[in-house]
Amino acid sequence: MESTKHMSHLFTPLKIKDVTFKNRIGMSPMCQYSSDDGVASNWHLVHLGSRAVGGLGFIMAECTAVSRTGRISQGCAGLWEQKHVDALKPIVDFQKSFGAVTGTQISHSGRKGSAATALSSHLDGDDPQGWETVAPTDDAFDPDGTRLWKAPRALSISEIETIQAQFVNSAKLALEVGYDLLEVHCAHGYLLHSFLTPLVNTRDDAYGGDLRGRARFLLETVKKVRAVWPENRVLSVRLSVHDFVEGGLDLEGTAQVGLWLKELGVDILDCSGGGAVPDARGAIGNRTAEQPDMAGELRKATGLPMMAVGGITDPLQAEDLIANSKADIVLLGREMMRNPHWAYDAAKALGADPRHVLAEQYGFFVGAS
């Protein structure tokens, strides 16, 4: 069906490497607390599959742990052995059959791991006490202990190398699943971000100190991951572009990190914020509205394509971010949970042909409107 209607920027395809996004709308990664020992369930098929049916150009699966102890909670997703591949593959095949680009976000939770066990207390096989967590130092995320996180143990250098090997293992497994895009999670106070930010990393060895030292864990990991992630597929890094706390990371430092990542062959940055310390506002906190504009700043400073995220709900706002070169892809989190057919509504609002957006089965029924 050929469109005679205006094609908005949001609905203009994007090609990065050999990956073509049919539009610029993506779902942001969101933990679903519905895995058993990291293994995806029917919940994921519905959560991710319905957004593919809804016509998204890109769907990022939730933060997916590189090891059992790299999970945030007992219900979090994982990708450390074959059983995870076997559960994810049909889900990814389903999403692809509706033309969505698929991505996953590999992650280690660091000192924010072993948390929120109440969310998944129905699961057997895991110690209800959780597990020992690790971090740049042995300082707890929440020193007064009133919340969910326990005191971590500072990582040794050989343990850092072990975790880097786990990232590489997950990248290889992600390839086996068939993902088009792989993202390394370096935001929200999880392990890689906790090394990057001066708010947490006070180490005095090669993995601490100045920005270059604090970035070492991330940069080495990305270099190793890039070596196994095929050149023609997309590699992304999610950064907390700003810590939103005095003395924390800001745009200037993040831009430098972005340039280093670019040198290592990263194709796109995913611009989030906050989460390093309790008063730094969470990733879904009240400062997220500033993030989409920060993506534009980082795009200018690094020359890299950007994903913008945070408080995007309005099609005109999303269109503006792409049209004004602030971002190349917009990611929606909570709004996409509320409305899996947001892309259809956006097409109508922007004067694009909505019949192109939905899966054919739906388009047949509602496309004539």
Ligand X SMILES: Cc1cc2nc3c(=O)[nH]c(=O)nc-3n(C[C@H](O)[C@H](O)[C@H](O)COP(=O)(O)O)c2cc1C
Chain residues binding ligand X by CB under 6 A are 28-31, 62-63, 105, 185, 187-188, 238, 272, 283-284, 288, 309-312, 332-335
As given in the structure block, the two tokens for residue 155 are 């990582």
**In the chain, helix, strand, coil percent, each to 5?**
40, 15, 45
Tokens of 345: 């509504």
Cβ atoms of residues 238 and 174 within 8 Å: no
- Is there a catalytic annotation at residue 190? yes
Minimum CB separation of residue 291 from ligand X in Å reads 8
We find the least distance from the C-beta atom of residue 338 to ligand X, in angstroms, to be 10
Q: What is the full DSSP assignment across 34-102?
A: --BTTB--HHHHHHHHHHHHTT-SEEEEEEEESSGGG-SSTT-EE-SSHHHHHHHHHHHHHHHHTT-EE
| Distance (Å, whole) CA 269 – CA 66 | 20
Select which of 33, 190, 207, 344 is catalytic.
190
Q: How far apart are CA 243 and CA 61, in angstroms?
A: 24
Per the CB < 8 A criterion, the answer to whether 363 and 355 are in contact is: yes
For residue 118, count other CB atoms closer than 10 A to its CB: 12
Dihedral sign computed on CA atoms, order 207, 239, 249, 298: positive
Is residue 10 within 8 A of residue 349, CB to CB? The reply is: no
Active centre residues (catalytic): 190
